[in-house]
């Protein structure tokens, strides 16, 4: 059965906008966990634009939950991840210029490096590995050869598509999920998921395990919470009016 994991990165984006501690990312993670998230996902980027190193160490020491450490396979990240030993490490491509992760790994290109350096480091540290991939059968075969625990299917193209292209993307995701399952790996999914596109994903894509959602949750939270806080402040100010 599929379960929800909330990606907490953009709470940190908001905090960093003021350079102080508000909103508190750890407290936000706890709220997610109290309301149905079955774990926390965070992406420690090379440029530390949202999650910082101290967040990672704090999640590890303060949260008794399933942590999915998303990262690029640099030596620095591999070292931090080996120290933290999260329940899962999801490897993603990363470029400094991108606003968010733009596509799955090009596993054909990085296969040897992953086989010889990346996967052995994580497996020696006993960290299960997930690879963020586009729904491409060849890449999934390569993931299976690497002996990883899971593949996270990149749902970004599906999330942006409409009409026939959307059906086509759903079909690709469904076939890819079947192949990942056949190969004995867990099927995770994420990127661009929201209250509108989650339904067809759940209905049409089999074997879903972890569903990672970030940006849309934080964006929706603004509208589900903004009215309440504005009313509270207006009531305080109005109470002082002569
Ligand atoms: N999964 C992966 C591998 C990602 O890189 C991201 C974005 O950080 C997500 C899931 C979550 O995507 P979104 O913020 O669009 O929900």
Look up 169 and say whether it is catalytic.
no
Q: What pLDDT, on the 0 to 100 scale, is given for residue 19?
A: 87
Query: Is 15:21 a contact under the CB 8 Å cutoff?
Result: yes
In 101-234, DSSP assigns E strands to: 129-133, 150-154, 186-190, 208-213
- Distance CA(40)–CA(51), nearest Å, equals 12
- Distance CA(117)–CA(167), nearest Å, equals 38
Domain boundaries defined on the chain: 3-129+193-238
- Distance CA(80)–CA(74), nearest Å, equals 10
Look up 191 and say whether it is catalytic.
yes
Q: What pLDDT, on the 0 to 100 scale, is given for residue 130?
A: 98
| Catalytic residue (choose from 10, 50, 154, 191) | 191
Given this structure, which CATH class describes domain 3-129+193-238? Answer: alpha beta
Q: Which atom of ligand 1 is nearest to the CA of 194?
A: 16
Q: What pLDDT, on the 0 to 100 scale, is given for residue 96?
A: 65
The residue ranges of the chain whose pLDDT is under 70 are 96-97, 100-101, 242
What three-state secondary structure class fits 91?
strand
Q: What is the pLDDT of residues 22-58, one digit of tens each?
A: 999 999 999 999 999 999 999 999 999 999 999 999 9
DSSP classification of residue 45: -
- From the CB of 104, is ligand 1 less than 6 Å away? no
Whole-number Cα distances in Å, 179 to 86, 109, 176, 187, 205: 26, 21, 5, 9, 11
Q: What is the pTM of this model?
A: 0.96
Query: Is 197:159 a contact under the CB 8 Å cutoff?
Result: yes
Ligand 1 midpoint to CA 49 (Å) = 15
């Amino acid at each position: 059965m599929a379960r929800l994991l909330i990606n907490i990165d953009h709470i940190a984006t908001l905090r960093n906008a003021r350079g102080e501690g508000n909103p508190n990312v750890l407290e936000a993670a706890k709220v997610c966990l109290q309301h149905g998230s079955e774990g926390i996902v965070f992406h420690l980027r090379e440029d530390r634009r949202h999650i910082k190193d101290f967040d990672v160490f704090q999640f590890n020491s303060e949260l008794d939950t399933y942590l999915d450490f998303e990262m690029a396979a640099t030596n620095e990240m591999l070292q931090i991840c080996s120290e933290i030993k999260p329940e899962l490490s999801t490897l993603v491509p990363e470029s400094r210029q991108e606003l968010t992760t733009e596509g799955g790994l090009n596993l054909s290109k990085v296969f040897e490096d992953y086989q010889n350096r990346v996967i052995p480091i994580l497996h020696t540290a006993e960290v299960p590995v997930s690879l963020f991939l586009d729904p491409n059968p060849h890449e999934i075969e390569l993931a299976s050869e690497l002996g990883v625990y899971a593949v996270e299917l990149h749902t970004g193209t599906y999330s942006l598509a409409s009409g026939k292209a959307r059906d086509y993307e759903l079909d690709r995701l469904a076939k890819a999920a079947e192949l990942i399952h056949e190969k004995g790996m867990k099927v995770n999914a994420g990127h661009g998921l929201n209250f509108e596109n989650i339904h067809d994903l759940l209905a049409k894509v089999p074997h879903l395990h972890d569903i990672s959602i970030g940006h849309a949750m934080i964006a929706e939270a603004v509208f589900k919470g903004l009215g309440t806080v504005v009313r509270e402040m207006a009531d305080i100010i109005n109470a002082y009016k002569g």
